[in-house]
Each structure stands twice: as structure tokens, then as C-alpha cells.
Structure 1
Amino acid sequence: MRSVHVTGERLGLREVTVDDVDALHAVYGDPAATHHLPFDPRTREEVAEIVAEAITAAAATPRRLYVLAVTDSETRAVIGVARLHIEADHPHSAEIGLGLRSDLWGRGIGTDLIRLLLKFGFKDLGLHRLWGARSPANTAAQLAMLVAGMVEEGRIRHHVPTPAGWRDSIVHSALADEWPAH
């Protein structure tokens, strides 16, 4: 297994560990942080299962799923989670997703995190296309993706089931040959 360590100015990405369950529960268990996600807040036990599955996925060959702890570069504290899932049928393309503690919103951290995921996907993994889907109501995610250099592609109608019913998704993408290294 190749261990992931990606650093940026304000953030870092590393493999999740069992010691991260409480920090990740601060994201996955927060109603504000999961408001635009297709699931209700997770329990601590459910977050522990997510971490266990991530650790198992990290050992897979070929590796298709990266669930990474987002760390503050200065304090090393875990402040969020980032996912990169390489598509089985299109191994040069991957979906990205992220979650940050809600008390850190509004500081440009989401934009920095998306740039770090793009760097990881394009430079470290050699992928050609990275994409992410957001709730149409999540304008903060829209801004973060656009400022990070992603292009809005369009709407997928009734893309994901949520506890409140079907939800559309707005897809954004970035291509390796259009992405400037930051």
C-alpha cells in the first residue's frame, strides 16, 4: 500500500486512521455539514465503519478509493475529510468529494482543499479528469469549485436519493490538460 501525504499551504491530506473517528464524526455527525449531502448525520459507530472501510480500501490493488483526513498544516488537527473515487470503467477519471467542520466555513478552506485534491489526482495519480457533484442549493460548494478552477458542466436530474426525496446534482469537472499547477 502506498501511503498518501499531500501538503499545501494551509492544508494537508493523509490516510485516515482509527484515531480519526472522533474528528471525522465532527463532520459526518454535524447536521450543518451534512445538510447538502444525501444522508442524515452519521453516528460515531457509522463513522467508525466508514474509517474501517477506508483502511480496507487503502490496501486494495488496484486502489480505487482514497478516503483522506484533511489536516490543518499548522496544528496538524483533522478538520475534514476528502474522498477520491477512481471509476472502474474509466480508470483515468475520478469523483471527488469533501466535508469540512462547519465552524471553519467561509475562510476559503474548501477552495484550498479542492485545489489540493486536484493536485493529488493530476500530479500524484496521473488522472485525466476529476469531477464532483453538488446539491443545486450548495452555492458555497459552487463557488469553491469554480474558484479552484473547475468548470460547471450541467445538471443531473434526480441523481441521488436523500432522506427528503430525490435530489438533482450539479456536476463540475477539471481536466489535466486545462489545469494549471498551483
Structure 2
Amino acid sequence: MKTPVLFTNRLQLKIVALSDLSKTHELLSIPEVDQYNALGLPTNKEVTTVYLDEWMENYRMRKEFVFTINSQSDNEFLGLISLRIGNPKYNIASIWYKLHPDFWGRGYATEATKAILQFGFKEVGLHRIEAGCAVDNVGSIKVLEKVGMIREGHKRKVLPLKTGWSDNYEFAMLEEDWKP
């Protein structure tokens, strides 16, 4: 598979590279972006470099596709989105995304998620794609519902957030559910 670049009406999704370090570090350092995430804020760019190195190695091994989300009109960096491949026997993957708060509420996360689902089902040939979401993360819940993912479960106190243990909703979509 050649290096994928995905296009939507407004966005271009490209595999993350070391040249994305500054923008990625800035994004991961925003407390609002990390509010419902267990990753934590990077203490410096070296920590972010470790994340980038891991994502790029995972891509080389075809274990994870981490894309930058960029505006097609001016190539502005809006965020990150990932498709992480699970056990090949089950033909399954999970997604996550992080968008800069300046771009929240404009439909970019929904648009990028639809592109990732299309890529996962049509290019990678997956059977099932999952996503987890803190129960208080209303924005992400709306995104996952808008793209047609089904809330299948509720895990109790599974996310170690700064505010304490959080419950998590589990969403999924099957290949047969996908409607581009």
C-alpha cells in the first residue's frame, strides 16, 4: 500500500511526519484537548517526539495510521486522527482524534472521521471499527453518533483522567453498516 493521503470536501489527511512536531506538540499541550484523554500533557518537545516516532514506526509496521488533519484551502494544521489496527484475526481497528479548540464545532472532526471510516473499510478491508469516549465528552459523542457509529457499551470508571476515574462509552461500526 502506498502512503495514503485522504481528501474530503474541506480537508486533507496525511500520515504524520517529524516535520509535524511543532504543531503536534502545540496541540497535545492544550489542556482542553487533553481533558478527556489519559495520555497527559507532554512536558516538552522530546516527549512529543517519542509519540511521533512511535506513530511513524507503527505506520511502517501497518499497525496504526496517524494522520494530520489539514485544511485543503490553506494547508492549516487542524488536528490528528488515527486508525489503530487490532488483532488481524478479528479484522478490527479503533479510532481516536484530537482537534485544536479553534476548530471545534465546525464539523471537521465529523468529516475527518468519515474519511477514516471509509479508508478503514474500503482500503484496509476492516470488518469492524471501534471508538471509546468519556461519558462527559459531549462533542465526541456527537461526532461518533453523526458518522453512524452505534453506542454498544458503557464501561464504568475505566479512564484515569486528571479529574478522577471516568466512565467510557464504547462505539462501533461494522463494514455492513458503513454508508459513505
Question: 1:114 aligned to 2:113?
Answer: yes
Distance of 2:109 and 2:117 partners within structure 1: 12
Shift of 1:101: 0.5
Find the residue that maps to 1:106 and give its secondary structure.
Answer: coil
Structure-to-structure mapping, 1:59-138, within 5 angstroms: 59-60=60-61, 63-88=62-87, 90-138=89-137
Q: Are the counterparts in 1 of residues 35 and 161 from structure 2 also a CA contact under 8 Å?
A: no
Distance of 2:152 and 2:11 partners within structure 1: 27
Shift of 1:162: 3.0
Bigger fraction of residues in helix: 2
2:35 corresponds to? 35
Shift of 1:21: 0.7
1:15 corresponds to? 15
Shift of 1:89: 5.7
Q: Are the counterparts in 1 of residues 36 and 161 from structure 2 also a CA contact under 8 Å?
A: no
Gaps (5+ residues) in structure 1? none
Identity %: 25
Shift of 1:163: 3.7
Q: CA RMSD in A?
A: 1.5
Q: Are the counterparts in 2 of residues 155 and 170 from structure 1 also a CA contact under 8 Å?
A: yes
The residue type equivalent to 2:60 in the other structure is: A
Distance of 1:124 and 1:76 partners within structure 2: 24
Given the superposition, is the C-alpha separation of residues 12 and 36 from structure 1 closer, same or farther in structure 2, using an over 3 Å criterion?
same
Find the residue that maps to 2:78 and give its secondary structure.
Answer: strand
Gaps (5+ residues) in structure 2? none
Q: Are the counterparts in 2 of residues 13 and 70 from structure 1 also a CA contact under 8 Å?
A: yes
Which stretch of structure 1 is more off in the superposition, 164-173 or 74-83?
164-173
1:26 corresponds to? 26
2:58 corresponds to? 57
Distance of 1:58 and 1:114 partners within structure 2: 18
Find runs of 4+ consecutive structure 1 residues off by over 4 angstroms: none
TM-score by length of 2: 0.92
